[in-house]
Structure 1
């Protein structure tokens, strides 16, 4: 019988996680590190990256911190080259940074549009190129990006952010098709309402926090660890036949049209 535990084991793997300083990125780095991979924790917040790396090391893993501006293509390329020198290869590459400026489209400035797109969309583009090239030469690898449920569902004020996340989902499909012949898999996770630094302002408003929770079939917000676990799965050999997919980690938000109605189930009588 196949040893399924080994499919999830990342021992001997070399991983890079961009955005590892907090939230989903940190949870992804921790999950990947806990499964045995050596991790480079990269983030614009070096203190956060160092804390993430220290946590992995304290748990018996191997990790190092690296400072990066994920909106700069040259810095992403430098990280990829550093990873190759330091680790000798890159089996797993994950990128999670994102920026959202919540405004109606008519109120957006060009500078704000560029800030969102440069980090979210162009950042993903540069991430794919910089880590895809060495993986093509290796003949193996798993790349995981972070899209969002906003790629497929929207509300006023999120148009630009949603467009960037939909773009990432399409890039994932295209890049998966291009990388498949080289043995490289490309996927994304699509989280919904996760308690992170990005969503902290919403949590401060109890009415919105409760309303958003009610849009999920589980009636709650998600935790970064729940997305990090999905990232680790996509990175592992357990997902060896998954490529070009955007995995919903959304508590069922996109499974229904609006919030649940509150109808109760009726059990059949004996």
Structure 2
């Protein structure tokens, strides 16, 4: 028996990187995955690959900063399946800039995707998850929510907000059979941070801060998400799981 057999899952930011790895892993474990991404072509590429591998997936283009689009996505899932068993709020962006010179537009853009997008999806999916009776929400935060470096103020602030939101929702959603947990990845080799890791000096410094002495891979995060999504984590809610090679334990 696969660990997510017959589950209905939604992964935002599912068109690349960590989101793609989670989507493909969930599908291999038996879920029908809605691969949602602002880049509709990327979402379709992932969904097509899943179907080609004998999995079940639906691609959906959505901007999580747009309430109407998020509502439409949930209506699509409702019409097709009537419930949602797993929601992964993975869509996110970063902005590296000196705080003193960051303009309002840049700050708001990161906040709207990372925080407001998570809020919208968790809120608009509530009825579908309540219909499941045994649903799981997995919010992607970051080790940067507690471990800080220069020029990452807005990213760290948004991920700290996601972590706090997750703990609150774990309490609010528990009476409805909905678990809410948080994943805190360290530095994972994706396009989002690839431009930083390509600098040998930066890469060396980050590896020095990582006890396991390697960067994460998207599959590392997908494996942790699979556990939180599965019935094996049936008594786990309000938890924050670091998947960071030990980076969060260093000074």
Whole-Å Cα distance in 2 between the matches of residues 85 and 16 of structure 1?
14
- CA RMSD for the aligned pairs? 1.2
Runs (4 or more) in structure 1 with deviation over 4 Å come to none
- Tell me which residue corresponds to 1:3: none
Equivalent of residue 235 in structure 2, options 229, 233, 241: 241
Whole-Å Cα distance in 1 between the matches of residues 230 and 6 of structure 2?
12
- Tell me which residue corresponds to 1:150: 144
Whole-Å Cα distance in 1 between the matches of residues 182 and 201 of structure 2?
30
Q: Unaligned regions of 5+ residues in structure 1, if any? A: 1-5, 258-270
Is the aligned partner of 1:168 residue 2:162?
Answer: yes
Q: How does 1:219-258 map to 2 (within 5 A)?
A: 219-257=213-251
1:106 deviates by 0.9
Q: Number of residues paired by the alignment?
A: 251
Equivalent of residue 67 in structure 2, options 53, 67, 73: 73
- Tell me which residue corresponds to 1:36: 30
1:134 deviates by 2.5
Q: Unaligned regions of 5+ residues in structure 2, if any? A: none
1:203 deviates by 2.1
Q: How does 1:193-232 map to 2 (within 5 A)?
A: 193-232=187-226
Equivalent of residue 44 in structure 2, options 28, 47, 50: 50
Kept in 1, the 8 Å contact 2:188–2:217? The answer is yes
Between stretches 216-225 and 200-209, larger displacement belongs to 200-209
Is the aligned partner of 1:26 residue 2:20?
Answer: yes
Q: Classify the secondary structure of the residue corresponding to 1:60.
A: coil
Between stretches 165-174 and 48-57, larger displacement belongs to 48-57
Whole-Å Cα distance in 2 between the matches of residues 177 and 110 of structure 1?
33
Kept in 2, the 8 Å contact 1:25–1:95? The answer is no
Kept in 1, the 8 Å contact 2:82–2:131? The answer is no
- Could you report, residue by residue, the CA deviation over 1:137-170 in whole angstroms, capped at 9, with x for unpaired residues? 4432111111000111101111111010000000
- Tell me which residue corresponds to 1:91: 85
Q: Classify the secondary structure of the residue corresponding to 1:199.
A: helix
Q: Classify the secondary structure of the residue corresponding to 1:36.
A: coil
Q: Classify the secondary structure of the residue corresponding to 1:48.
A: helix
1:232 deviates by 1.2
Between stretches 134-143 and 56-65, larger displacement belongs to 134-143
Q: Classify the secondary structure of the residue corresponding to 2:125.
A: helix
- Tell me which residue corresponds to 1:190: 184
Q: Classify the secondary structure of the residue corresponding to 2:79.
A: helix
TM-score (norm 2): 0.96
Kept in 2, the 8 Å contact 1:152–1:166? The answer is yes
Q: Classify the secondary structure of the residue corresponding to 2:196.
A: helix
Whole-Å Cα distance in 2 between the matches of residues 23 and 71 of structure 1?
20
Kept in 1, the 8 Å contact 2:84–2:131? The answer is no
Kept in 2, the 8 Å contact 1:169–1:246? The answer is yes
